[in-house]
Structure 1
Amino acid sequence: MASMREGFNVDIVARVIRKTALNEHLTLPVAAAATFLSCDASGRYLAKIADLVSRFGLNSSFVSEAVTRRAGRIALGLGTVGFLISFNNWLNKWTSNNWTPTKRGEWDWTREIVVVTGGSSGVGASVVQKLLTRNPSTTIVIVDFAPLSWTPPAGSKVHYYQADLSNSDVVRDVCAKIKSEVGHPTVLVNNAGIARGFTVMEGSYADVELTIKTNLLAPFLLVKEFLPDMVEHNHGHIVSVCSMSSVVAPPALVDYSATKNGILSLHEGLQVELLHRHKAPKVRLTNGIFNFIKTPLFKGSTGLPNFTAPLLHVETVSESIVESLYSGYGGTIILPGIMRYISMLRGGPEWMLRLLRNTSNYPIDFRGRQRITETGGLAPNSS
């Protein structure tokens, strides 16, 4: 859920309701107590409660069998809803992780090797920094075209490889260097991405090709490079940074949205392959579906109410990713949480989703900050 960094929003309200009215650990005992009191033929317990209320100078008229029975039904209804939510979350967790628990000590973050693409700035940099805060001895490999915008702590085991991920040959070469110079990664965070900000008609061949190669082809190739060792040891975690644009594609981000749809398919299909084809149920997969994030990828405001669609802070997103990694389990992260109900509209009334797609008035500048060379690659001084 979105945090207080994003200001007061619907996720905070939902969190409060979940911990109170929809908390089955609170409401079901209340329902049981109310049922017991309303079924007491002698009414002696209700009489004692009414007397206690009167002693505090309060009106005890509400302490009656009818009111108690009604309160019990309400508490039972709320508790049932809360239980179903918890049961659904439980099923989501274990089906996403092939019903295979993570044993204590199975993840040793002093020995894990983490690759983070796009770790020079933004979400990627924040993920790296949070991992180092948790365990300064973690080996981390940053793969990015841009130079580091921050300085790793002295003594940290941070490796940086400059690479244009839109070039398949470069991806192959940098992966070979990582495996030979650092070791076989056990964690891959596919975070790097670009957005050119042109409509389908206006974008050049280079704009479309760079977006698809960087955002979709590179994650596929990185998974191909690092997955075999994870499968061999039945140990690993792959994080895919997806986007709500895979559900609702804004104008001038259609190619970007298409790549995020592809990432979603990669995540879902790989889950099945790992379990049934490769017999590696403990290679965890996490997919992060995030709304707009305050990164250099775009400028401006969404123009949407902050209460229902808050603009996410980098720290909020990176925290959710690191929490998933440290939990030892995979799953789906949706931020802000309200967006899961937007996602459900993919199977709902088409007209409702079409209304949501009418985002042409968003006052956002999606223009990519990367420069393209005459040959269609990224310019050396892109950032």
Structure 2
Amino acid sequence: MFSSREGVTLDSVAAPLRRWLLNPVISVPAALVLSGLGWTNPKPITVKALAPVYLATLAGVLLSLNEYLDRQFANNWVSDKTWNWNEEIVLVTGGSTGIGASICKQLLARNPRTRIVVVDYAPLSWKPEQEGVRLSYYQCDLSKADALRSTCERIKAEVGHPTVVFNNAGLVRGATIMEGSYGDVEATVRTNLIAPMLIIKEFLPEMVKRDHGHILHTGSLSYLTPPALITDYAATKAGLLALHEGLQLELKHVHKAPRVRLSLGIFCFIRTPLVSGHTNVPNFLLPFLHVDTVGEAMVDAVYSGYGSTIYLPGLNRVAATLKGGPEWFFRIIRESTVNFRINFHGRQEVDKETGKLQKA
């Protein structure tokens, strides 16, 4: 009950408590029943025992109200009942391994008829378990704009216009700004930030035309607390947040497409080929996330039919809230990242001068 793929964590303990103890559907009737008992037996001990029940009920109501408002504002107060997963076309960048592969597998597990397009520089490293799936693979160096454009044109002509885009591909070099090469910086920014923008430019017009679609970005808490050695990577994730939030307003107010959904995942460390090591923080508070935990959260988001911001682990939401607090206090939090024992070098090899990918 209190365990997960990552073991016993704060999230795995909090989830059932939120689902049961802080659920207004359960807590409000319980509070009313207990209140009735209190009126019939108004002993001091009975009234005193009701206080925690009232507090839990109030907390549950406020949490549910906040979640409702978050969802409605993120989705322009409109729903979209036209999702048909036999007909949707899903594009996943970086779908050969890691999070992207998990997303693809979970989509196929839910509906083997969903058409999936994987765009990656690395060869496809997995095979579908289901028979007769509609899976297409396109090899592309996403850091090269010309290659990306031609690949997108091929996808439109050969498969169709994607209605769901997972901007998931990422690259990290693990060097300081001073010591990293020109190629390191250029490959990181092109792959992590410019490529998502260009992919959106390619496929968003059809989504706007239909007023139907969903774009999901794989973000990182590093936008908020950038550790040393991945400053360029963290900067691209900060840019991804700005891209996500700016697009929300453009879709609603400029393009008049309120049903095109946008989701952003704010994740901490994930066990992928990009990173390895440990954080020196108790696993209960800051676990290394399993790729399937992240993939499941992203697929749950797209299947919900609503855009959202996904915080994993949940402590990330607290960190985002604290950003507006005293600067000295948040500096202490950021300083703690120097205790991480993480290898950020990833798996890719790039040309030090041009940033061209040489090995996936």
Does the alignment reach a TM-score above 0.5? yes
CA displacement 1:13-72 (0-9 Å, x = unmatched): 2123323432333333333233333333xxxxx4xxxxxxxxxxxxxxxxx611221222
Q: Is the 8 A contact 1:237 1:285 kept in 2?
A: yes
- Give the aligned partner of residue 6 of structure 2: 6
Equivalent residue for 1:230, pick from 203, 207, 212 = 207
Distance in 2 (CA, whole Å) between partners of 1:258 and 1:199 is 13
> Which residue pairs with 1:286 in the alignment?
263
More divergent stretch after superposition (151-160 vs 319-328): 151-160
The alignment partner of 2:296 has SS state of helix
**Aligned partner letter, 1:198:** A
Among candidates 160, 167, 172, match of residue 195 of structure 1: 172
Structure 2 length normalisation: TM-score? 0.95
SS across alignment from 1:347: coil
Hey, what's the Cα distance between the residues in 2 that align with 1:248 and 1:75?
37
Question: Does the residue aligned with 1:192 lie in a helix, a strand or coil?
Answer: coil
Partners of 1:31 and 1:71 within 8 A in 2? no
Q: Which runs of 4+ in 1 moved over 6 A?
A: none
Unaligned residue ranges in structure 1 (runs of 5+)? 41-45, 47-63
Letter aligned with residue 17 of structure 1: L
Structure 2 match to 1:61: none
Structure-2 residue corresponding to 1:134 = 110
| SS in structure 2 at match of 1:360 | helix
For 1:379 and 1:285, how far apart are their aligned partners in 2?
A: 29
Q: Distance in 2 between matches of 1:3 and 1:229?
A: 42
| Residue 112 (structure 2) pairs with residue 115 (structure 1) | no
One-letter code of the match for 1:370?
Q
Task: Please state how far the C-alpha of 1:374 moved relative to its aligned partner.
Answer: 5.8
Q: Distance in 1 between matches of 2:23 and 2:179?
A: 51
Distance 2:261 2:22 in 1: 30
Q: Please tell me whether residue 35 in structure 1 is matched to residue 35 in structure 2.
A: yes
Select the residue among 146, 151, 155 that pairs with 2:122. Answer: 146
Offset, 1:102: 2.4
Inter-partner Cα distance in structure 1 for 2:103 and 2:64: 28
2:163 counterpart of 1:186? yes
Change (3 A) 1:157 1:34: closer
Question: 2:18 matched to which residue of 1?
Answer: 18
**Which residue does the alignment assign to 1:50?**
none
| Aligned with residue 369 of structure 1, among 344, 347, 353 | 347
8 Å Cα contact 2:181/2:352 also seen in 1:
no
How far, CA to CA, are the matches of 1:325 and 1:110 in structure 2? Answer: 14
Q: What secondary structure sits across from 2:349 in the alignment?
A: coil
Deviates more, 1:28-37 or 1:106-115: 28-37
Distance 2:271 2:157 in 1: 36
Give the 3 Å change call, closer, same or farther, for CA 378–9 of structure 1 in structure 2: same
Task: Decide which of 106, 122, 134 is 1:157's aligned counterpart.
Answer: 134
CA shift at 1:294, angstroms?
A: 0.4
SS in 2 for 1:231: helix
Matches within 5 A, 1:99-110: 99-103=77-81, 106-110=82-86
Q: Cα offset for 1:362?
A: 1.1
1:341-356, aligned counterparts within 5 Å?
341-356=318-333
Contact kept, 8 Å, 1:35 with 1:72, in 2: the verdict is yes
- In 1, the alpha carbon distance for the partners of 2:127 and 2:32 equals 58
1:331 partner amino acid: S
Taking only aligned residues, the RMSD between alpha carbons, in angstroms, comes to: 1.5
Question: Matches of residues 166-177 of structure 1 in structure 2 within 5 Å?
Answer: 166-177=143-154
2:55 matches 1:80: no
SS of equivalent residue, structure 1 residue 5: coil
Aligned mates of 2:287, 2:85 — CA distance in 1: 33
Q: Which amino acid aligns with 1:209?
A: E
TM-score, normalization: structure 1?
Answer: 0.90
Shift of 1:219: 0.1
Find the aligned partners of 1:219 and 1:98 in 2 and give their Cα distance.
23
Name the CA shift for 1:232/1:364 in 2 (closer, same or farther; >3 Å). same
Among 71, 86, 91, the residue aligned to 1:93 = 71
After superposition, give the CA deviation of every residue in 1:122-151 in whole Å (9 maximum; x if it has no partner). 000110111111111111111001111112
In the alignment, the residues of structure 2 paired with residue 261 and residue 294 of structure 1 have an alpha-carbon distance, to the nearest angstrom, of: 21
The answer to whether the aligner puts 1:219 opposite 2:193 as a matched pair is no
- 3-state DSSP class of the match of 1:198? coil
Question: How many residue pairs were aligned?
Answer: 357
Superposed CA deviations along residues 307-343 of structure 1, whole A, max 9, x for unmatched, are 1101100000000111111111111110011210011
Change (3 A) 1:348 1:120: same
Q: Deviations over 1:272-314 (max 9, x none)?
A: 1101100101101111111100000012112211011011000
Q: Following the alignment from structure 1 to structure 2, what is the Cα–Cα distance between the partners of residues 169 and 304?
A: 43
In structure 2, what is the Cα distance between the partners aligned to 1:320 and 1:97?
18
Counterpart residue identity of residue 150, structure 1? W
CA distance in 2 between counterparts of 1:86 and 1:152 reads: 38
Give the distance between the partners of 2:30 and 2:88, measured in 1 at CA.
46
Unpaired segments ≥5 residues, structure 2: none
Partner of 2:286: 309
